[in-house]
Amino acid sequence: QVQLVESGGGLVQAGDSLRLSCAASGRTFSRYAMGWFRQAPEKEREFVGRISWSGYTNYADSVKGRFTISRDTAKNTVYLQMNSLKPEDTAVYYCAAASGSSWSDWGKGTLVTVSS
């Protein structure tokens, strides 16, 4: 089991930038992927992006070119750098961990609100 805690959410204006962090603790896999998801009010949870154990990243089309995922293995932390934020980015952002193709461990989320 891996415990995940998100932080860095807040209220920003459209066009601003924000950096989210996801700290992992507990027993970790030697090779695992980390992902970011988000859930807007009255919407289903959606995929934002992921980073593999080797550092490969991919993103949803809605955030491609604006968001960047990175990780600091020494700190057991993954980051989501969000630039050029839009009101439609407003959501609770969750991080998740997977040792394979299944997302098995989730954080409780951090709220990002982007004003118009």
Q: What is the 3-state secondary structure (H, E, C) of 14-68?
A: CCCCEEEEEEEEECCCCCCEEEEEEECCCCCCEEEEEECCCCCEEECCCCCCCEE
pLDDT digits (tens, 9 = 90+) for 41-63: 999 999 999 999 889 999 999 99
Asked if the model's pLDDT at residue 90 lies above 90, the reply is yes
Q: Are 48 and 109 in contact (CB under 8 A)?
A: no
Average pLDDT over residues 6-22: 98
Q: What is the pLDDT of residue 29?
A: 59
Residue 101's region, left for phi above 0, alpha for psi from -120 to 50, else beta, is alpha
Average pLDDT of the chain is: 93
